[in-house]
Amino acid sequence: MATLDSEPEGDWLGRGARALDNPQIMELSVRAAELTTLLESRITNFYTNSKVDEIGRVVSVGDGIARVYGFNEIQAGEMVEFARSVKGIVLNLENENVGIVVFGSDTAIKGDLVKRTGSIVDVPAGKSLLGRVVDALGVPIDGRGALSDHEGRLV
């Protein structure tokens, strides 16, 4: 039987017992425990800070309507944004694609990516619109600045 003073080749238990008395090895095991705790917390919080956008691709365009493939969870009336900062509203939900009315030029969006915004289209309403010129989405185009207090109404 091996003793702690001798170092036989196959006596791993003896070496382990002697290693626990070594302060350098104890310090390394404490650092390893801290590192393990740090890594575990980083791994568990890894996906909580990420946001996944659902995107689709324009397969055809005609008469201001874009057919987009790739949306699974989209809602009718939802605002979407094309890659060239053109906006649109989802009106037609089908099995394979969705129909989107394009608010802007549709000449160069075929093949573009489309991103969901997650919000149903709403436009400003109220007395702040009196005497103002706005586009179809309620954005002022008369050069008099942004609208003052107003409430939003669903389209």
Is residue 40 domain-shared with residue 63, that is, in the same domain?
Answer: no
Is residue 111 domain-shared with residue 128, that is, in the same domain?
Answer: no
Domain total for the chain?
3
pLDDT of residue 79: 93
**Residue 28 placed within a domain:** yes
pLDDT digits (tens, 9 = 90+) for 66-120: 999 988 889 999 999 998 888 999 998 988 899 999 988 888 888 899 999 888 9
Is residue 22 domain-shared with residue 78, that is, in the same domain?
Answer: no
**Residue 5 placed within a domain:** no
Is residue 101 domain-shared with residue 64, that is, in the same domain?
Answer: yes
pLDDT of residue 115: 92
73: Cβ contacts below 8 Å, ≥ 6 apart = 54, 116
DSSP state for residue 44 in the 8-state scheme: H
**Residue 112 placed within a domain:** yes
**Strand, helix or coil at 19?**
helix
CA 145, 87, 141: angle at the middle one, nearest 5? 20
**Residue 2 placed within a domain:** no
Domain that holds residue 141: 121-155
Average pLDDT over residues 24-30: 59
Is residue 27 domain-shared with residue 67, that is, in the same domain?
Answer: no
Is residue 78 domain-shared with residue 130, that is, in the same domain?
Answer: no
Average pLDDT along the chain: 79
**Residue 135 placed within a domain:** yes
Is residue 111 domain-shared with residue 72, that is, in the same domain?
Answer: yes
The answer to whether 102 and 53 have CB atoms below 8 angstroms apart is no
Is residue 111 domain-shared with residue 149, that is, in the same domain?
Answer: no
| Local confidence band at 122 (pLDDT 50, 70, 90 cut-offs) | confident
Is residue 60 domain-shared with residue 112, that is, in the same domain?
Answer: yes
Is residue 115 domain-shared with residue 72, that is, in the same domain?
Answer: yes
**Residue 69 placed within a domain:** yes
pTM given for the model: 0.60
Pair of tokens at residue 78: 């939802």
pLDDT at 18 over 60: no
DSSP state for residue 107 in the 8-state scheme: T
Is residue 65 domain-shared with residue 90, that is, in the same domain?
Answer: yes
pLDDT of residue 69: 93
Residue appearing with tokens 């919000």: 119
**Residue 87 placed within a domain:** yes
